[in-house]
A = this chain, B = another copy of it.
Amino acid sequence: MRVTLKDIANELNLSVNTVSRGLRNMDDISLPTRMLIQETAQLLGYQRNLAASSLRTKRSYSIGIIITDYSNPVMSEIIDGAEAVGRKHGYTMMIGASNENAAIEEEIVGRMLEQGVDGLILVPTLLNPDLLHKLDQSQKPYVLAARKYPDCLCNFVYCDDLVGARLVADAFYAKGHQSFLYVAASHSSAVSRDRLQGFSSRLSLFGISHDNIHTLETDATREGAFQKMRSWIQAKQQDHVLPVTAIFAFSDYVACGVYAALKEFGYQIPKDISVIGFDNNEFSTIIEPPLTSVDNHFFEIGQRSAQRMLDILDLPENERMRSPQGIITMPELVWRNSVADLSGSE
């Protein structure tokens, strides 16, 4: 059997109480007994039973993190970041993936609450508007990571998509591009809309009208983007010339599909057409040509989500629900070789 406080107490002829306090190094226990207790615990291989202590303290030192799916490396970065800061502060992470399924997401949330997590970090599916309501009822703090619920009054951490899109606009403009295609995710995605918004409003600053910005809606997968892009090329090309010189892809996955479609029609990147992606996935350095992409620092998003969580948990219980806080992180453009210079200036 596992050794308990009682075992140590018996061993030392002390009370369970004293052992408990001694182990937690409280200074109302004399230093010598504290040492003695801690040494004996070590010797007997004592391991605290957190389930028991959490019953009393209402703290489990576990945090749940719910992502959408494991196949996207972006999620791994978020988990990695969150776990790193969580562990440093003595927390263990529970994990679950919704696979973009609202029912599963809700099930996982329920399970984690049963398990008694102190709080929840989630990359929400956005398909389940009731979820936030339920979370509010649960009284457990939660922070939304990497995705936006429109008008939500809650803790969240995400990358500034407007700035990211502006970075793309600036990059293309600096290289002399004047006509664009934005290969979007679903138009119902707030993130996708924001990126288009940031992109086109920046370009209009430069005197480039909306007419010069084509858009193409996709399901944000590589295969989906590939199919849509093929059709688009077929419909729009004339004498093997595209009506745009630059493509802004919603994500690197989308960019991959775009690459494949362009290559199929014999277009060379960046010679014939330039491409910039978003997310700065690892494979962006591997594909040919290496893809210029916006890094939204998902590791940092994970870290800050966890940090925000810890900050909340440090608050007295009755203050935790007050003043949710939004944290917006700054993206960064990573230059590679998928953009041609049309400006003739260098």
Contact = CB atoms under 8 A, between A and B. Distances in A.
A60 interface: yes
A87 B73 contact: no
Contact of A96 (B76, B92, B116): B92
Contacts of A77: 70
A333 interface: no
Contacts of A69: 80
Nearest to A2: B139
B96 A108 contact: no
A57 to B, nearest CB: 10
Q: Which of A87, A115, A288 has the most CB of B within 10 A?
A: A115
A75 B61 CA distance: 25
Given A51-B51, A94-B94, A286-B287, 18 more contacts: A45-B137, A47-B114, A49-B116, A50-B114, A51-B116, A52-B55, A60-B115, A75-B76, A79-B95, A83-B97, A87-B96, A87-B111, A92-B115, A93-B94, A93-B96, A286-B286, A287-B287, A288-B288
26 contacts: A47-B110, A47-B113, A47-B138, A49-B114, A49-B116, A50-B115, A51-B54, A52-B55, A70-B76, A75-B76, A76-B76, A80-B97, A83-B96, A83-B97, A87-B96, A87-B107, A87-B108, A90-B111, A92-B111, A92-B112, A92-B115, A93-B94, A282-B283, A283-B286, A286-B286, A286-B287
Interface in A5-35: none
Contacts of A71: 73, 76, 80, 282
A294 to B, nearest CB: 19
Given A92-B112, A95-B83, A95-B93, A60 B70 contact: no
Contacts of A283: 282-283, 286
Interface of A: 2, 45, 47-52, 54-55, 60-62, 69-71, 73, 75-77, 79-80, 83, 87, 90, 92-97, 107-108, 110-116, 137-139, 256, 282-283, 286-288
Return the 7 tightest CB-CB contacts between A and B, nearest first: A70-B76, A70-B80, A95-B95, A51-B51, A283-B283, A51-B116, A50-B114
Contacts of A93: 94-96
Contact of A286 (B83, B108, B111, B256): B256
B79 A70 contact: yes
Nearest to A140: B2
Nearest to A45: B137
A137 B47 CA distance: 12
Contacts of A79: 70, 95
